[in-house]
Structure 1
Amino acid sequence: MINEQIRDREIRLIGVNGEQLGIMSAREAMKLAEEAELDLVKIAPTAKPPVCKIIDYGKYRYELARKEKEAKKKQKVVEVKEIRMSPNIESNDLNTKMNAAKKFLEKGNKVKVTLRFRGREMAHMQSSRHILDDFAESLSDTAVIEKAPKVEGRSISMVLAEKK
């Protein structure tokens, strides 16, 4: 809220240079802001009484946008990469999948390892669980199991995350 939008009876006012000007009516604060040729901006509306500041509103909005942009730059979005395998995977293929998973983990992503079953393979789901256990065991130096292997329809999947 800025200038005439502020309808509170009493507000706590902060001056141009950040000094406390005390508690006063919104009209008095508006007069002070007009004298300084700046805007009266409500900074903390939930406080008792609400806190307002005499500042240049355009500059204030620009600073907020810049801070938001900086915060976004520092954020890292963690993706979940999926690696699919079948229960009759050969050891060389498994090693290739492990190397891919290692690369994903080093980049800071999580890895969802899925063991997919087709047709008659469904009858031997539990005996194929060792493939996921071996996969997790071989990556134990760089990864930790975030979500244990779980049967989901025609597949068993688990989630690995980078060790801290």
Structure 2
Amino acid sequence: MKKKEEHRINNHIDSNKVRLVGDSIKNGIFSIQDAIQLSIDKGLDLVEINPKVDPPICKILDYKKFLYEQKKKKKQFKAKQIKVNTKEIRFGPQIGDHDGKVKIKSAEKFLMRGDKVKVFVFFKGRSIVYKDQGKIKLLKFAEEIEEYGKVEQMPVMEGKRMYMILAPKKI
């Protein structure tokens, strides 16, 4: 199965008249035969750029080179987009001070790399009665790390877990 072309070229353009635009030719409205003949004389292709207007807008250019340039632009645009990863850190409501500092260090490392951090406090069994203690731990965590990241979402309870999302600060 052949892939459908993005643009109509040469004899596949189904209009009697076309508007030619470009650098090396005189811009204006031409009959389709004249436009195709001009493109043949130059050894290039007649490419329909905008089929929605009347008459359709066409350019005389090297179609393969045109496709290559478009593909290159798309690739550059895609490379400029930043992918944000989300890392997770979890601990219980009765976490010790030293263990908390270790979690903070790893969160700082993630935020410095540009990742978001989702911090969980998980409640096992009867520890669910310490919801307020879990919230305090999360807010203290956010306070300790405010140099590297800001709170994107305040603590939220979801089932037996309470979580908060931290985003890296813009430098």
**Do these two structures clear the TM 0.5 threshold for a shared fold by scoring above it?**
yes
Alignment of 1:8-157 (within 5 A): 8-15=15-22, 17=23, 19=25, 21-157=27-163
Aligned partner of 2:9 in structure 1 is 2
Q: Is the 8 A contact 2:151 2:165 kept in 1?
A: yes
Shift of 1:144: 0.9
> What TM-score do you get using the length of structure 1 for normalisation?
0.89
After TM superposition, the structure 1 stretch with the greater mean CA deviation from structure 2, 118-127 or 95-104, is 118-127
After TM superposition, the structure 1 stretch with the greater mean CA deviation from structure 2, 35-44 or 149-158, is 35-44
Q: Is the 8 A contact 2:134 2:162 kept in 1?
A: no
Distance 1:111 1:20 in 2: 58
Distance 1:48 1:142 in 2: 56
> What TM-score do you get using the length of structure 2 for normalisation?
0.86
Please give the root-mean-square deviation of Cα atoms over the aligned residues, in Å. Answer: 1.8
Work out the number of aligned pairs and report it. 163
**Unpaired segments of 5 or more residues in structure 2?**
1-7
Distance 2:150 2:96 in 1: 24
Aligned partner of 1:160 in structure 2 is 166
Paired residue type of 2:18? I
Paired residue type of 2:20? L
3-state DSSP class of the match of 1:77? coil
